[in-house]
Structure 1
Amino acid sequence: MDPSLIAIVVLGAFVGGFISGFAGFGFALVVSGIWFAALPVHLVPPLVVLSATAGQLTGLAKLAKHVSWPKAWPLIWAGILGIPLGTALVAFGAPDKVKLVVGVFLIAYTLWQFMARRSVPQIRVTGLIWDRIIGFLGGILGGLAGLSGALPVVWYQMLGMSPAEQRARYQPFNLAILALSSVSMLLFGQITPEVLRLSLIAMPIVILGALTGVWMFDRVTAKGFKRAVLSLLLLSGVMILTQSLT
């Protein structure tokens, strides 16, 4: 295998692993841009899903004290129900229009948060129905374009939860969606021997990056974590908007 190709796979794996370990989401959006530049298009989605799953598992193992499966369950099962609708939008609808709306929303939200001179008022809601609605919409976006994590992150930020409380809910959700996507890709033959060979290179680096990201998460302040996540959401919005317009 070409050494320069291996270097790009390793670079993407470490960057994606670090972001996954630190923020609990965002692997696919960052890594896809790196790997699509060097790898055949058909190899990237399954490689991203397998590698992101490894990153999520590492993060969950190291942050087990923060994770609450009961709190995440309403988000998870609603998200699973939303995935087929997102997939249907790809097959029969206009996914670029949905991406355009999501991209504009993420950019507007993050700029609003960054430009606020004082703390943005937090919303006050009760009842798990809202978690289910957000999970369902996140599942649609996951089935549409692998964007399952962004909406739950925004939602829990707006509720004013601490970084640990946010991750207790959305990181198990992300893992469940990724695991389901992995099974689906395996059944449809997308996880080929070539993908598995690349995964053997990428996964150890993803785990190393995720451990580094978790180490950073344990040391960052709540304000610093929020700004870092907002920056990642802004980057995600710009990338999604660019994809929808090209």
Structure 2
Amino acid sequence: MVGPESVLLLSLAVFSGAFVSGVAGFAFSAVAGAILLHILQPMEAVPLMMACSVGVQAANLWALRQEIRWIESLILTIGGLLGLPLALWALRNTDARTFQQIFGAVIAAYAAWMLFRPSNPYVHQMNRVSNALIGFGGGLIGGLTAMPGALPTIWCDLHGLTKKQQRGLVQPFIAVMQIVALCIMLARHDLSPKLFIEIGLSIPALAAGSALGLLVFRSINEVAFRRLILGVLLISGAMLVA
């Protein structure tokens, strides 16, 4: 990155992603990536988005520490850790772009349907087996799309969880998935030395976006939060397709 224009775009991307993630709890990479992938190479942009996402998730976890559902989230996370290695293998050996487009179309269609249907019949109560399977799917999808929180968020929406219950379940899962992915990239020597400079430049925008997003999260009601989540899923899915 060279010049004030690139730094400004970096700050705008990080602020936007942090704000959306602060409000919705996920989708940092989907939002920030729309800008970062135009000014950085993918091997620079993806680790930067992961690192910034970890920062946002840390802020979210601290702010919502009283709401974290540790046992349920642990089961979700174990499933995700089993799915992540398979995703990293598939990323190197299969056509990940096709999968990204299919998954984007599916979540966009789901979000559009749930936004405009007149009622929302919820499914039965969660159990540990189903949560572990959703975690596995989230880890698999996250490794291929950088959106590990999309499937667990849909799962929470189908069960009618409140905004605090949803965030308390999904936030630790996303944080662990991103940290493990970064550790794997570090072990493979995939991280650029410029990453730490870019992280340093991102900190002010990251802090401001996270704080503002959490402020909005606390102020909106349950109906508005659900519509916001579905809207973020719709846009994220459309961006994966495009």
In structure 2, the residue matched to 1:181 is: 181
Is residue 126–residue 159 contact of structure 2 (8 Å, CA) maintained in 1?
no
Does the residue aligned with 1:193 lie in a helix, a strand or coil? coil
Give the whole-Å Cα distance in 2 for the aligned partners of 1:126 and 1:28. 28
Greater shift, 59-68 or 46-55, is seen at: 59-68
Greater shift, 50-59 or 190-199, is seen at: 190-199
C-alpha offsets along residues 166-218 of structure 1, whole Å, 9 cap, x if unaligned? Answer: 11111110000011112112222233321110100112321221111111111
In structure 2, the residue matched to 1:211 is: 211
In structure 2, the residue matched to 1:74 is: 75
Greater shift, 198-207 or 209-218, is seen at: 198-207
Kindly provide the amino acid, as one letter, of the partner of residue 194 in structure 2: E
Kindly provide the amino acid, as one letter, of the partner of residue 43 in structure 1: E
In structure 1, the residue matched to 2:165 is: 165
In structure 1, the residue matched to 2:223 is: 223
In structure 2, the residue matched to 1:240 is: 240
Q: Which runs of 4+ in 1 moved over 4 A?
A: none
C-alpha offsets along residues 133-186 of structure 1, whole Å, 9 cap, x if unaligned? Answer: 100001101111212110000011000110110111111100000111121122
TM-score normalised per structure 2: 0.95
Aligned-residue offset at 1:84:
1.0
Describe how 1:53-132 pairs up with structure 2 within 5 A: 53-117=54-118, 119-132=119-132
Kindly provide the amino acid, as one letter, of the partner of residue 201 in structure 1: L
Is residue 67–residue 164 contact of structure 2 (8 Å, CA) maintained in 1?
yes
C-alpha offsets along residues 41-99 of structure 1, whole Å, 9 cap, x if unaligned? Answer: 32101111111111110111111111122220010011000001111222222323322
Give the whole-Å Cα distance in 2 for the aligned partners of 1:153 and 1:189. 32
Give the whole-Å Cα distance in 1 for the aligned partners of 2:194 and 2:92. 26
Give the whole-Å Cα distance in 2 for the aligned partners of 1:165 and 1:31. 26
Does the residue aligned with 1:65 lie in a helix, a strand or coil? helix
In structure 2, the residue matched to 1:36 is: 37
Aligned-residue offset at 1:126:
4.3
Equivalent pairs counted in the alignment come to 241
User: Aligned residues: percent identity?
Assistant: 27
Unaligned runs of 5+ in 1: none
Give the whole-Å Cα distance in 2 for the aligned partners of 1:55 and 1:18. 9
Is residue 72–residue 131 contact of structure 2 (8 Å, CA) maintained in 1?
no
Does the residue aligned with 2:66 lie in a helix, a strand or coil? coil
Give the whole-Å Cα distance in 1 for the aligned partners of 2:239 and 2:126. 33
In structure 2, the residue matched to 1:10 is: 11
Kindly provide the amino acid, as one letter, of the partner of residue 2 in structure 1: G
TM-score normalised per structure 1: 0.94
